[in-house]
Structure 1
Amino acid sequence: MIETSNPAMSHKGREDSLAPLLNVLTMVRKQWAIIAACLLLGTGLSLVYSKTLPRIYQAQSMVELDPNAFRPLGEKMNSAMPLGADDFWNNQEYYETQYRIITSTKVLERAVRDLGLQNDYDFFGLKAAPEKPITVEETAQTLRAHITVEPVKNSRLALIKVEDIQPKRAKRICDAVATAFIDQNLEKAISATSDSLAWLGSQVDAVKKDLEHNENTLYEFKRSNDLPSTSINESSNMIRLEMQDLNSALTRTRTRKQELLARHAELAKITTENAESLPASELLASTFLQSMRTQYVEGLRAKRMLLAEGKGENHPAVKSLDMKILESRTALLAEVKNIQGAVERDLAVIQREEAGEAALYEAAHKRAVDLNMKEIEYHRLDRSREQNEKLYAMLLEHMKDADLARNNKANNIHLIEVAVEPTAPIRPRVPLNIAIGAVIGLVFGVGLGWLRGSLDNSIKTPEQIEKDLGITFIGMLPAVEEPNAGKAKGRRVPTRRTLQSSSPALIVHDDPHSGLAEAARSIRTNLMFTNPDRPYRRLLVSSAAPGEGKTTIACSIAIALAQSGQRVCIIDCDLRRPQLHRIFERSGDRGVTNVLVGEAAIEDVARPTKVENLWSIPAGPIPPNPADLFHSDRFKKFLDDASESFDRIIIDSPPLVAVTDSAIISTLMDGTVFVLRAFRTTRPLARQGLRALADVDAPVIGAVLNDMDLNRHEYSYYHYYYYKREGYAPTQTASDGPPVDPDAASV
């Protein structure tokens, strides 16, 4: 499916998008006089105000703030001159601090003293010396309001700006403040270094006394505890080695003792019955014992052999062997006993050695424990001495650095640019002030115009009728201008002819070529073609309030219908303030009320007017109860009889909001024409009148906007109303000569 764009919809969309702008432009066009007046007023006031202000000059100097100053002695100067930190946040704090110091009381008072500014009465705006002398502190407080500090972005530079009414004084003050700030910073650094040096000197003396006390205490401790001149760690190592040797010797002695005890136990097992059961170690250690054991064993073997041969115990040979065996056994046991005695003696010696070595070890152990206790105290004293010694050395080093730094006089703030005498003032900025005043005046004027437009809720244009009231606009009648009205107001109005009429309501008849007549005929056309199948024969003309021109509209519509060849009767049903009898130059003693009370017929009260095909019926005598008359059947019959006699009936009625007469009459009409007066009828009042008609279900044809002054700027964009103002007819010369065609080309 191919989508096609709708030109009408796109045009409507563009109009909706431009609606806010058009509303603003419309408001400006309507209220241009107020806006222009406010604009001129704001511009003039700002100009006058700027001329009354004194001229202010500004001088500025540039200084460099270096948080990391030049250190000829290296980083060691940090402790002596704390000129700033290296990290970002500390630098930021440093800069902000310096900005505040520049405008501090101490710096400003120094600058005031250097310049003698407290005696410069012109600086305070005084013509003569005051009764009470101005102090330096008061001058510094006044000077602070003239100084601003502005950091240069992405740099270590700062601008010191001074404002004053005299350019030379502004320069002198700016230089004095910068110099005072730099000198104050240098003095601060030197003072801080001197204070540090004095403090370091006192600390050196105190630490020196502590160090000497520590050394003396350590000496007395060594002397009283009989400690060698060597370090206590070496003494502790010697005792430790001694204890190791004693422990090794004691271990060997105890091992030997155990060996002797085992040998003694084995030897104790040898008896007469087992004399041959000697330990192998003993046999290996003594060849004599081994030979005696051999003899004893061989004697026993020889005896067992004799016994085996059958020889008895009493056999001489056996007895001889017994004697040998006894001798050898006795000798063997005697030797074993000698060995046991030797072992016992060795054992006694070993035991004495063990006791001595154990005593020596215990003595060494005790000395080691005592030395450990002394070592703790010794190390405490030595540690205190060592700390004081290091502190003393460090303080001496810093003291020397501080002394060098004090003599060096390094400054981390430098003057980069001196102030230059300004040649032009910075304030007042007349063009800027005028622009601001113009903008304020313009905004105020637009706001005032918008407020005025918002407070004005009167009906002015046909669009407001259809948009705000929701009824159809069927026509308008322009305002009637008096002869030479434009010249009286100082404007040149291109009038084609002068209207000559006894009443504005009869202009349609008296001057059929006028713009008002053309407008009336336009209303007639709209009424005829609004409902061509069922023409409106009975028309009620009414308004919401008095003075809105409903009688003029009724007469104009009636005359325009009569000029079309129809028999028209205009009836004055305003039984409270009737006017038709004066317009048509009739007496008001006979009219509608006479017909309604039965004193006359329609033929008796309807009289032709000077307008062809137009009859009029005046109101007649004013009754006490008009509404009751309109509610009666006689009034309905009156309308029916009039409708039979005439083609059209136009009824002029009282206002809808004031009385109920028009609402009652409207129920018997084919349609009602609602009259609004431009710039007078308000929207709430018009809605109230339309609500009165809606409450009785009266048919409303539309609204007519009366008394439209087409010379007003509100209607400048209604170009199609141009000829409704003056009509479209030949113009006349001032000498009443022949008509001139306005469209003819001039030669």
Structure 2
Amino acid sequence: MRPANPDSDSSEASPAQAESASLVRVLIVLRRRWRIALVVFALTLTCGALYTFSQKKVYRPQASLEIRPERNTVATVHDQAQYVDTYLWESYYRTQQNILSSPGLAEATIKALPPGLKARYEGLGGTQAFAGNVDLEQVRASFILKVGFPDTDAEASTQIVNTLISVYLDDANRRMRELKSNAANTLSKETLPDIRKAITAAEAGLAEFQASSGFVDFEDRTNSYRSGWNKSNERLTEVRLKRIRLAAEYKSLVDYGSDGSSGLFNPSFHQIRALEQLGQERVHIAEQIASESQRLKDGHPRMIDLKAQLASVEAKIREAVQGCLLALQNDLKAAESEETALGEEVKRLEAQMAETGNSLRRFRRLQEELTANKELYASYLKRQGETSATAGTGTQSVRILDPAKPPPSPWKPNNRQNLIIAAFLGLLLSGGSVLVAEQLDNRILSPDEVRAFVGMEVLAAIPRLRGAGGEEVFVLGDKSSIPELESFRAVRAQIVTRLERLGSPAVGRAYVLSVLSPLPGEGKTTIAANLARVLALEGRRVLLFDADLRKPRLHALLKTSDGPGLSEVLAGKADLKSAARPSVIPGVDIVGVRTGVSSAAELASSPRFAEALKSARETYDFVILDSAPVIQASESALIARRADAAILVLREGRTGRGAARAAKNALIEMGVTVLGAVLNAAELNRGAYGYGYGYGYGYAEEKKGSAQGIEA
């Protein structure tokens, strides 16, 4: 079973870990791009400062006005005009604002200015420019309006503001005096005479109506009719109920008139004393008949006499019942007659009440009309007196709270505000420039970037391999005490340690390590060859397996070019033992390929490739597969799956973060165990490298002449 990938991203990372990783990325980007950010910030702040300090100083003196709607000087608490400011003051306020910034007031103000200031606004467009420069500022939740006039001359703008509000108040007072004078004339000549005529007409109409009605008190008459109507209606209700009761009794008793004995059982007949005695007598005779019938026959004289007595008593009972019915019928007729009379009386009273009510309403309407005209006359008369008394005064709705004074400091430019805005804008632009720079250039420049952006541990950072003349070499020379060789020893230590953690191979089987890179030209073959060399220094039998079937390079390290290669092994023309030949690297054999093949993907997945790899495991202690670039060759991940683990070679200053992540994810998705990354061509003297990536300790005396490379 393949072990878990040590460098795979945890799907259950805590939010704190994710936040920490994001912070690390930000710090790395800032460390990498701080010069760009600083330059952009400094340029923005400098431009803001130049703009601010190059602007002309503008002063804005302000005068404070209190503006309220006009109210009566003399008024009562019941005067609704006192509450006009509660509902209409905002409209009045806006009107005064428009007047203050109107061209008409601007023209009058210009005429009132001293000659020196007047000349600035004379000519075409001067009035409009003056009106447009008037600055109005409303103080929230108050009746206060601040009037200003921005200008480069503080004294001149102060004089303009004071002249403006002076002209405004003079004009407002003039208009108010004219308004009050016109109102007083209208009241005295038109409004009050018309109201007086209406009062006279209302008094005449009321007097005429009272004379025609006999000066009757309609309210008393209406109350009298209403009292009589109530009594008659109550009596009518009583009589109607009585008539209904008598009719019901008569209807229920009329059926008893033909049967004297049955009438005894109706409750209405119990009030007749004669019937009570006759009933008792009838009961007594009936009891005798019942007693004698048990021993006498019906034809017996005694029985005949008793029956004759019974018939006589029942005849008397019928006569009494008929008399009772007749009396009840008479009572019913009397009740009906009284009900009819009372109904007619109620109708008569209702008609009189309606007529009197109409007269009362007309009387009240005439009286209310007269009262309303008198109150209106009194109100306008009071208004006339107030208007006449205040005709010489000006407006009371506007007053000056504070006149304009020369301001001690300019209104514009606001240096502090502009510099703060420039600094904030500089931060935004510097952040944007850093983001743009990261999008345009995301090359890996340090091991920290590999950990933060790719999510892989860096096994070691390998410097550029150079010979004695400074030229780049493929494989280091024989002397192993140079710093470059120490970096490969660090890679060896990391790889061996991590492979041992994954598990020891079976007896007689070698470790198989795949060396890959995201793209070509990143030094995977160089890393593979030099890693094989340092492994061989430990006495291991090492095989370099050229698994890059498209562009092979390891055949250049063979001592001789004769003999079969991997192509012959995969074609079945040779075995691995004959194809593995000594190389120029001591202790390292190579299975090379002379030329690239077009069917690399098919050959890599063939059984013969697996058989060759199996044979290599049985023969050597360590097998290193130099595979093709992961992103460009589909067979790379397949070959890496056959290995125990893989390392990813990244070239500093060339490999992009996206390519590195894509290669890593492609390997992980195929189930490849990635031990980590090797950062090739690293500049170890760069500030991004801390302790752990400098491999020159203790070799200062030996550096001279020690970097002779093995020429491939």
Match of 1:402 among 387, 390, 394: 387
Give the conservation status (yes or no) of the 8 Å contact 2:464–2:680: no
Task: Give the CA deviation at 1:541.
Answer: 1.9
Give the conservation status (yes or no) of the 8 Å contact 1:541–1:673: yes
Match of 2:488 among 496, 514, 520: 520
2:418: which partner in 1? 433
**Greater relative contact order (Cα < 8 A, sep 6+):** 2
1:75: which partner in 2? 75
Residues 86-485 of structure 1: matches in 2 within 5 Å?
A: 88-90=86-88, 94-95=92-93, 97-115=95-113, 122=120, 133-134=124-125, 136=127, 138-139=128-129, 142-151=130-139, 157-203=144-190, 206-207=193-194, 210=197, 395-409=380-394, 411-453=396-438, 473=457, 475-480=459-464
Task: Give the CA deviation at 1:233.
Answer: 11
- Write the distance in 2 (CA, Å) between the matches of 1:20 and 1:180: 66
Supply the AA of the counterpart residue of 2:460: M
Task: Give the CA deviation at 1:439.
Answer: 1.0
Supply the AA of the counterpart residue of 2:163: A
Task: Give the CA deviation at 1:449.
Answer: 1.9
- Write the distance in 2 (CA, Å) between the matches of 1:187 and 1:480: 95
Q: Which stretch has the larger CA shift, 623-632 or 561-570?
A: 623-632
Deviations 1:74-95 (A, max 9, x none): 327999x97x747645555555
Find out whether 1:529 has 2:527 as its counterpart.
Answer: no
The two structures have a TM-score, normalised by structure 2, of 0.62
1:672 is paired with a residue of what secondary structure?
Answer: strand
1:338: which partner in 2? none
Match of 1:55 among 45, 54, 57: 57
- Write the distance in 1 (CA, Å) between the matches of 2:364 and 2:612: 141
Task: Give the CA deviation at 1:543.
Answer: 2.4
Give the conservation status (yes or no) of the 8 Å contact 2:559–2:583: no
1:43: which partner in 2? 45
Task: Give the CA deviation at 1:564.
Answer: 1.8
Find out whether 1:649 has 2:623 as its counterpart.
Answer: yes
Give the conservation status (yes or no) of the 8 Å contact 1:536–1:670: no
Supply the AA of the counterpart residue of 2:691: Y
Aligned-residue CA RMSD in angstroms?
A: 5.1
CA shift in 2, pair 1:15/1:150, >3 Å = same
Deviations 1:293-346 (A, max 9, x none): xxxxxxxxxxxxxxxxxxxxxxxxxxxxxxxxxxxxxxxxxxxxxxxxxxxxxx
1:652 is paired with a residue of what secondary structure?
Answer: strand
Task: Give the CA deviation at 1:163.
Answer: 0.9
CA shift in 2, pair 1:631/1:469, >3 Å = same
- Write the distance in 1 (CA, Å) between the matches of 2:179 and 2:145: 24
1:148 is paired with a residue of what secondary structure?
Answer: strand
- Write the distance in 1 (CA, Å) between the matches of 2:427 and 2:66: 46
2:519 is paired with a residue of what secondary structure?
Answer: coil
Match of 1:606 among 581, 587, 590: 581
Supply the AA of the counterpart residue of 2:459: G
Deviations 1:702-732 (A, max 9, x none): 443333444556x35xx233424xx222436
1:279: which partner in 2? none
Give the conservation status (yes or no) of the 8 Å contact 1:589–1:621: no
- Write the distance in 2 (CA, Å) between the matches of 1:553 and 1:398: 108
Deviations 1:269-297 (A, max 9, x none): xxxxxxxxxxxxxxxxxxxxxxxxxxxxx
Give the conservation status (yes or no) of the 8 Å contact 1:642–1:649: yes
Unpaired stretches in structure 1, ≥5 consecutive residues:
1-11, 124-128, 238-372, 483-497, 738-747
- Write the distance in 2 (CA, Å) between the matches of 1:536 and 1:674: 20
- Write the distance in 2 (CA, Å) between the matches of 1:39 and 1:520: 43
1:720: which partner in 2? 691
Deviations 1:590-619 (A, max 9, x none): 56257536489856862342x443344543
Supply the AA of the counterpart residue of 1:538: V
Q: Which stretch has the larger CA shift, 373-382 or 693-702?
A: 373-382
2:633: which partner in 1? 659
Match of 2:528 among 539, 554, 564: 554
Match of 1:579 among 553, 556, 562: 553
- Write the distance in 2 (CA, Å) between the matches of 1:529 and 1:374: 123
Unpaired stretches in structure 2, ≥5 consecutive residues:
1-13, 218-357, 706-712
Find out whether 1:731 has 2:700 as its counterpart.
Answer: yes
Supply the AA of the counterpart residue of 1:75: A
Supply the AA of the counterpart residue of 2:529: C
CA shift in 2, pair 1:390/1:43, >3 Å = closer
Residues 650-729 of structure 1: matches in 2 within 5 Å?
A: 650-663=624-637, 665-666=639-640, 668-678=642-652, 680-682=654-656, 685-686=659-660, 689=663, 700-711=674-685, 715=688, 719-724=690-695, 727-729=696-698
Give the conservation status (yes or no) of the 8 Å contact 1:508–1:520: no
Supply the AA of the counterpart residue of 1:134: G
- Write the distance in 2 (CA, Å) between the matches of 1:640 and 1:208: 126
Deviations 1:668-724 (A, max 9, x none): 5444333233454456645654576568766654443333444556x35xx233424
- Write the distance in 2 (CA, Å) between the matches of 1:375 and 1:640: 128
CA shift in 2, pair 1:45/1:590, >3 Å = farther
Supply the AA of the counterpart residue of 2:582: R
Task: Give the CA deviation at 1:521.
Answer: 1.3
Supply the AA of the counterpart residue of 1:606: R
Give the conservation status (yes or no) of the 8 Å contact 2:62–2:404: yes
Deviations 1:44-66 (A, max 9, x none): 22223324533211111123345
Task: Give the CA deviation at 1:206.
Answer: 3.2
1:655 is paired with a residue of what secondary structure?
Answer: coil
Aligned residues: 545
Task: Give the CA deviation at 1:102.
Answer: 3.2
Find out whether 1:592 has 2:576 as its counterpart.
Answer: no
1:62 is paired with a residue of what secondary structure?
Answer: strand
Supply the AA of the counterpart residue of 2:461: L
CA shift in 2, pair 1:525/1:76, >3 Å = closer
Match of 1:540 among 489, 514, 517: 514
* Identity of matched residues, %: 22
CA shift in 2, pair 1:711/1:406, >3 Å = farther
Deviations 1:472-531 (A, max 9, x none): 64613334287xxxxxxxxxxxxxxx96676444247556331x4333112211222223
- Write the distance in 2 (CA, Å) between the matches of 1:526 and 1:693: 20
2:149 is paired with a residue of what secondary structure?
Answer: strand
- Write the distance in 2 (CA, Å) between the matches of 1:146 and 1:572: 86
Supply the AA of the counterpart residue of 1:579: R
The two structures have a TM-score, normalised by structure 1, of 0.60
CA shift in 2, pair 1:640/1:545, >3 Å = same
Give the conservation status (yes or no) of the 8 Å contact 1:457–1:682: yes
2:163 is paired with a residue of what secondary structure?
Answer: helix
Deviations 1:241-270 (A, max 9, x none): xxxxxxxxxxxxxxxxxxxxxxxxxxxxxx
Give the conservation status (yes or no) of the 8 Å contact 2:172–2:395: no
CA shift in 2, pair 1:175/1:467, >3 Å = closer
1:407 is paired with a residue of what secondary structure?
Answer: coil
Give the conservation status (yes or no) of the 8 Å contact 1:204–1:396: no
Task: Give the CA deviation at 1:421.
Answer: 2.6
1:427 is paired with a residue of what secondary structure?
Answer: coil
